[in-house]
Structure 1
Amino acid sequence: MIKHIAMSLFFLLLSTPLLAKEVELNPEHPQQYTVKKGDTLWDISGMFLKYPWHWPEIWHVNPQIENPHLIYPGDELSLSYRNGKPVIEVNRGKRSVKLSPEVRETILDKPIMTIPLSAIGPFLSKPRVVGEEALDNAPYVVASADERLISGAGDYVYVKGIADRESDTYSLFRGGKAYKDPDNGEVLGYEAIYSGDAERLTKEDPAKVRLTYTNREIQVGDRLLEIEDQDFDLNFIPRSPEKPLNGRIISVFDGVSQIGQYQIVVLTLGKRDGLETGHVLSVYQAGETIKDSVSADNKDTVTLPDEHAGEAMVFKLYDKVSYAIIMKATTAIHLYDRVKSAP
């Protein structure tokens, strides 16, 4: 289950400026902006700020309006100054309401999201990162109902180890690659490759299960895990981590070798490191180690400095790893490039 960011955290972040940092405005910032449907908080932040993750430092909470920490289509944002420091104030736009003797209709806009749902939607519930024991101990397909080697949507299979569980709905997964820390070799988790959904029909062991959806063939040995909560909070605030963090990109989805904007990566940082949803990390292209052709010792090498390559924002957390979306890529980003707390 994705952990929701508590409302109290919103107020703390949004009403208490982090005065230790100098806020740099976008040179082409507007004085006012009316929020539109389809806007994201990251894009709006980028209109006003050079670094969008400094948004909490200029956002002024008006406690007199409903949900002062959220932004809705129709809201008017204005840039002003207080004690010489820039602040963004919100004037809550009008809501559309239609009244008649027969029908009462109220159109309620949803708050804008921080990043596009289309970019991260498939990764919110699938695939997963699990510990090795989670798949080893999960119920598994032991046979198909009609002796097929592979099965698909609409077919029936038998599952062992599911009889004493409460849920009747599951997702099927296949064990994928191990996520390892390239610096120390620690196994951080395993990829669980999503294969489909299933519904338990009987409670004996093995139980009969119907495959309700599949995106790949289902085989004997595939594992079943309970379906994750789909109620995700995408209204987190982009911000710098409160402490220095250092990690690496250890996986990229879609099988690409060079990573660009809106692509999803796996990081060697998680909850245990103090990482939180919404934290922004700067990406650095790892400096190449080359032969020192000038040195008298022909075995000498030199490692070039890391080069800033972009920013990534965390949107899903596990204990030892996390999913992040590349929000900006100023140069090519590669597997094993480094990530550090954004300034």
Structure 2
Amino acid sequence: MIKKIIVLLAGMLVTVAVYAAGAQLRSDHPDSYTVRRGDTLWDISAKFLSKPWLWPEIWQANPQVRNPHLIYPGDVLNLSFINGPRLGLQPSVHREGEAVPAIPLSELKMFLKDMRVMDSNAVSSAPYVVGLEESRLRGAVGQNIYVRGLQGEPGQRWAIVRPSHVFRGFNQGDAASADLVAHDLDSNAAMVNAPWREDSRNDGHYGKGDDLGVEVSVIGTAETLRTGDPATLLLLGATQEIRSGDRIMPIDDKPYDAYYYPHAPKSVPANAKVIGFADAMDAAGSRQVVMLSIGAKDGVDNGQTYTMMQPGETIHDDVASNSWRRGVGEKVKLPDEYIGHVMVFRTFDRVSYGLVMDGLRPVHIGSRLVMPE
């Protein structure tokens, strides 16, 4: 066990001795580092620690610092080795901007505020836009929209959402081998045919396995003008043109987490995999959002950090088989390859959003999640 002395400043310099068995210093750590705009706590910790997700274990051990997010651009971190490694924080005389976040929240607000993963039945049964003012094909701000199945009072405000992905498996084998996918839903066909519904599960295009939920994105807000079936709503704001088939949901005004504390999970479910990308086609990289096949019902919470592994291929062993003919003779499975780390920043019942924190190679669909070691 290495005795580490961490110095943090909150108005004055405080020194406290703490013990962190897992938080070893990197062999190539700098002696000092000046915090810059755009840094995150993970980035800074990765310069000093071989396991950057363990920074809360060190900083939270200091009872004088109630909030570990107290580092600002311009502050200087100094490392010395008097009676063991000593990390000191020297504040800038003129601190610039806001405190350094654990992760780049400004880049994730869309996923924190405007995205949800819901039960497929809840999406199917939600009120929906049936028509628009003057029989328009698309609705714009300031126009009326007509909604069926809506219960509420005049003046009540709603979120207008559009399903974007359905999370489902392609087989019903054991959880560890199930091929889970985040299937992209496309335009009007998704609105009319509702491929997330129970009666669509026999369609091999969308899978036949476990139903994890439907992702919806908030694309507008509206206010009830008149009740009835259909009800009349006034379109208050929109990021996309509203069309028939868009769903109506209550506005989610719950604040999202302002602070994240990376930590290892107690265990990793057998079906823990990467099942989709938010803004990538074939692969994702550092600081991109990925969808994970586990959620709150699996014990996942914000800040949980995992190592991603790319499953090794199964190849033909020409030598052992004494044959060059493919498919004949002995096969061997290659070892899984390390990809990088992903940290959960938003959880739903059976799906989570994660941010790729670092990596050596691209993240692909099917990458396995294991303990962050």
| Aligned residue number for residue 124 of structure 1 | 112
* 1:69 aligned partner: 68
Give CA-to-partner distance per residue, 1:278-329, whole Å, 9 cap, x none: 1111111121223344426716543322100111111111111100011112
Amino acid at match of 1:69: P
Q: Which stretch of structure 1 is more off in the superposition, 140-149 or 56-65? A: 56-65
Q: 1:187 to 1:160 in 2, by over 3 A?
A: same
- Equivalent pairs counted in the alignment come to 315
Q: Work out which of the residue numbers 268, 273, 279 in structure 2 matches 1:248.
A: 273
Q: 1:82 to 1:233 in 2, by over 3 A?
A: farther
Secondary structure class of the residue paired with 1:217: coil
TM-score calculated relative to the size of structure 1: 0.79
Superposed CA RMSD: 3.1
SS at match of 2:273: strand
1:146–1:262 Cα change, 3 Å: same
- Where does residue 295 of structure 2 map in the other structure? 270
Are the counterparts in 2 of residues 249 and 265 from structure 1 also a CA contact under 8 Å?
yes
Is 1:282 paired with 2:307?
yes
Shift of 1:146: 1.2
Distance 1:42 1:269 in 2: 23
Q: Counterpart amino acid of 1:143?
A: G
Indicate the residue corresponding to 1:317 in structure 2. 347
Q: Distance in 2 between matches of 1:299 and 1:131?
A: 46
* Amino acid across the alignment from 2:110: P
Counterpart residue identity of residue 242, structure 1: K
Distance 1:61 1:32 in 2: 22
**Alpha carbons of structure 1 residues 17 and 278: separation in structure 2 relative to 1, 3 Å:** farther
Gaps of 5+ in 2: 1-16, 171-176, 179-208
Q: Deviations over 1:33-90 (max 9, x none)?
A: 454543311111112112211212332644345x443223165544456985x46455
CA distance in 1, matches of 2:88, 2:349: 37
Residue 160 (structure 1) aligned to one of 122, 126, 148: 148
Q: Deviations over 1:106-134 (max 9, x none)?
A: x9x64321111243222112222111122
Q: Equivalents in 1 of 2:94, 2:226: separation in Å?
A: 50
Distance 1:146 1:304 in 2: 62
1:237 lines up with 2:261 in the alignment = yes
Q: By how many angstroms is 1:137 displaced?
A: 2.6
SS for the counterpart of 1:219 is coil
Q: Distance between the aligned counterparts of 1:157 and 1:308, measured in 2?
A: 50
Q: Is it true that 1:29 corresponds to 2:54 in the alignment?
A: no
Query: Secondary structure of 1:195's match?
Result: strand
Inter-CA distance 88–224: structure 2 relative to 1 (3 Å threshold): farther
> What is aligned with 2:194?
none
**1:213 aligned residue:** 237
Q: Distance in 1 between matches of 2:168 and 2:19?
A: 37
Measure, in 2, the Cα distance between the counterparts of 1:318 and 1:162.
Answer: 24
Aligned position for 1:334 = 364
- Shift in alpha-carbon separation, 1:282–1:206, aligned structure 2, 3 A: same
Q: Which SS does the other structure have where 1:38 is aligned?
A: coil
Per-residue deviation at 1:235? 1.6
Contact 1:252 1:265 (C-alpha < 8 Å) held by counterparts: yes
SS of 2:285's partner is coil
Deviation, structure 1 residue 245: 4.5
- CA distance 1:155–1:303, shift in 2 (3 Å): farther
In 1, Cα distance between equivalents of 2:121 and 2:33: 51
8 Å contact 2:311–2:336 — kept in the other structure? yes
Aligned to 1:197: 221
CA distance in 1, matches of 2:235, 2:19: 51
Supply the distance in 2 between the matched residues of 1:94 and 1:227 (Cα, whole angstroms): 43
Asked if the contact 1:16/1:57 (under 8 Å) is kept, the reply is: no
Q: What is the Cα deviation at residue 236 of structure 1?
A: 1.0
